[in-house]
Amino acid sequence: MMAAAEKKHGDGIAIDARAAPRASEARVEQGRGPDFIWNTLEVKGPLEARADFLAAASGPGFIDWRPEWYSVYEQIYFGVMASGAPSKVAATRVAGKLRDRFWRAHGAARRAAEVDPHRIPLDLNALIPIPEEVLRRGFLPAGQAWIQAHWGVAWPPRNVSFAMEHRRVGSGLEPVAVFRFLTEDWSPWMAFAHMRARWPDLRFVLTPSYFGPVVPDGRACRARKNAIGKGRRKARSVVARRPAPRIGNADLDVQLEAAP
């Protein structure tokens, strides 16, 4: 109880040492949220093989998990009730509105995929399609387990962008296909191993970063909006980093971030 464990002194609160937990009772709790990773994938190699990869990698970015909308409604309803909804009527209204919103978003994504089936430059479902029998079983738990085993991530990549850039090689320039995208907790290592096996003439270089998109010189850009406080404002444009070591082989390289 606060009255027994705390004593007020002026404007502050002093914690009674006698109420502090013993060492055997102390524990550290960590958040359940994911760690987001900015990934930069560079693809180098012969023009014909690179063009074949670019065509195969693009897709609609939409996976139809065949949701059962009444089941979605039930899950939302019981979740709202367990969270302390004031009444069953309130929980029913919230569940119905959220179910309808998810249904409309699902339909809009389906229509967008039909209009432009290659709108996402790196679609793992286009490279490694999810089997029909897995789709029929839904995302949880069968679908997520499948993509973890075959893609190496628990969720599809987000915020995918693509650009053709040039790297200086000797006295000339080398064209490089560059993909940048966001993943949760892990980079899609399994998918990249599949790419390496399917396109042995290409070289795939993956650079993960926890601080923001990786620019060509190997530094991580910290977003301006994340710069909070005087110390962070000094480094809000670019965070300098030491050269990143690489692991892997000549065909599939992985650059790991060095400590600042």
Q: What pLDDT, on a 0 to 100 scale, did the predictor assign at position 91? A: 95
C-alpha–C-alpha distance, residues 147 and 121, integer Å:
19
Lowest mean pLDDT among 21-35, 127-141, 184-198: 21-35
Q: Name the pLDDT band for 113 (thresholds 50, 70, 90).
A: very high
205 vs 10: which has the higher pLDDT:
205
Q: What's residue 214's pLDDT?
A: 58
The percentage of residues in the chain with a pLDDT greater than 70, rounded to a whole number, is 68
Does the pLDDT at position 144 exceed 90?
Answer: yes
**The pLDDT of residue 221:** 45
Which two three-digit tokens encode residue 91? 């929980």
Higher pLDDT, 141 or 224: 141
pLDDT of residue 33: 63
- CA dihedral (219, 151, 48, 52) in degrees, to 10, reads -130
In this prediction, residues 106-114 reach a mean pLDDT of 94
Task: Give pLDDT tens digits for 36-84.
Answer: 899 999 999 999 999 999 999 999 999 999 899 999 999 999 999 999 9
Which one, of 121, 131, 190, 196, lies nearest residue 160 by Cα? 121
In the chain, the amino acid numbered 108 is A
pLDDT at 212: 62
Give residue limits of the domains in the chain.
36-59+118-255, 60-117
Residue 219, pLDDT > 50, answer no
Cis peptide before 141 (omega within 30 of 0): yes
DSSP state of 38: E
Q: What share of the chain is helix, strand, coil (3-state, %, to 5)?
A: 40, 25, 40
CA Rg, the chain, in Å? 24
**Mean pLDDT lowest for which of 25-29, 143-147, 180-184, 230-234?**
230-234
183 touches 158 (CB < 8 A):
yes
Residue 32's pLDDT is 58
* Structure letter (DSSP) for residue 121: S
Collapsed DSSP state (helix, strand, coil) of residue 160: strand
pLDDT at 140: 87
Bridge partners, residue 15, by sequence: 6
Q: Which two tokens stand for residue 229?
A: 């406080």
Pair 154, 170: CB distance under 8 Å: no
For the chain, give the mean pLDDT: 78
Contact 235, 227 (CB under 8 A): yes
The pLDDT assigned to 105 comes to: 94
Strand 36-44's sheet: what is its strand order? 158-169, 172-184, 36-44, 203-209, 252-255, 246-248
> Residue 147 above 70 pLDDT?
yes
Please report the pLDDT score of residue 227 as a whole number.
Answer: 37
Would you state the pLDDT for residue 169? 87
Q: Within 10 A of 229 (CB to CB), how many other CB atoms are there?
A: 7
